[in-house]
A = this chain, B = another copy of it.
Amino acid sequence: MDKIRVGICGYGNLGRGVESEIGKNPDMELVAVFTRRKPVESLKIKAVVPVIHVDDAAEWTDKIDVMILCGGSANDLPRQGAAFAKLFNVIDSFDTHAKIPEYLKAVDRSAKEGGNISIISVGWDPGLFSLMRLYMGSILPLGKTYTFWGKGVSQGHSDAIRGIDGVADAVQYTIPVPDAVERIRSGENPDLSAREKHTRLCYVAAEPNADLGRIESEIKNMPNYFSDYDTTVNFITKDELKARHGKLPHGGSVIHAGKTGEDCKHSLEFSIKLGSNPEFTSSVLICFARAAYKLSEKGETGARTVFDIPPILLCADEEKTVKNLL
């Protein structure tokens, strides 16, 4: 069988994750890594495949079955998503929730124009957690779904702290409030504020002679990111930060508390504990790349979300799946 030929665009945490994990799937192979870096030789990668400049991507349309976009949602994907959809079948992890409908439309137009399939917003949230919210809420419509993130490192919040004057480096952990989780597990349907669901724990390495009091206050009062949460700030050295907070574990749960009959309670919970957030997210992207390829082989075009994908398309061996997993 011919393998599904995959390209990686962007070689950050996520790109390196795809590079590391694709070999776990015998039906897929990595064929090239695309980068904005100039000269491309300055990018050292682990895999033995060519490194190509993104501007030359169009020359690779007949050598790549699915391109996995591994850039960020803030700057990279808004520019790349639609452009690449014209050239390739594409997977991305666009995660700016509020802008998804608009992004979906733009990518859909391009993908149809190019005769390709794009699956957008793939990962664990949005992605796997979205699927869980859909299944749970559709099965038990009288109910409420709660999503908890953590304990894990939030890149966005860590970056926000790093932007503060006097901060050399920082890592921020998002942590679910155990009492909130327990109340929902036990069948309650509480209305919870942001503060009641998660706390934020920050490890900050300050520049020499920086005003720690001011830094702490700027963090705790930062709107959207921290002001709505109980936030703890710990100052530590750069070395400590690197040694003790250099990994990227994460996790979370989707919990649905629902009712049937008169007052019969049901609780559904999906929980993940991830040793490495980028390696897990990459694994989700890779398995949806398989689905994009299959849809494209059937002649379908346009943009899809994880909600549109028949689960069987994620499987390398469909017949075995029906036989063994049903």
Binding site for B on A (CB under 8 A): 17, 20-21, 24-25, 97, 100-101, 104, 121, 126, 128, 130-135, 137-142, 145, 260-261, 264-276, 279-280, 282-284, 287, 290, 305-312, 314-316, 321-323, 325-326
> What are 15 A-to-B residue pairs whose CB atoms are below 8 Å?
A101-B323, A104-B322, A128-B135, A132-B270, A134-B325, A135-B311, A135-B314, A260-B279, A266-B272, A268-B272, A269-B269, A269-B270, A308-B310, A308-B311, A311-B311
Residues of chain B with a CB closer than 8 A to A140's CB? 280, 283
Label chain A's interface by main secondary structure: helix
Interface pair A272/B267, CB less than 8 Å apart: yes
| In contact, A267 and B261 (Cβ under 8 angstroms) | no
Let me know if A133 and B325 touch, CB within 8 A. Answer: yes
Copies of this chain held together in the complex: 2
Q: Considering the complex of A and B, which 8 residue pairs feature the smallest CB-CB distances, nearest first? A: A260-B279, A264-B275, A307-B312, A138-B314, A133-B325, A138-B287, A267-B273, A130-B326
Chain B residues near A323 (CB, 8 Å)?
100-101
Question: How many Å lie between the Cα of A312 and that of B133 in the bound state?
Answer: 11
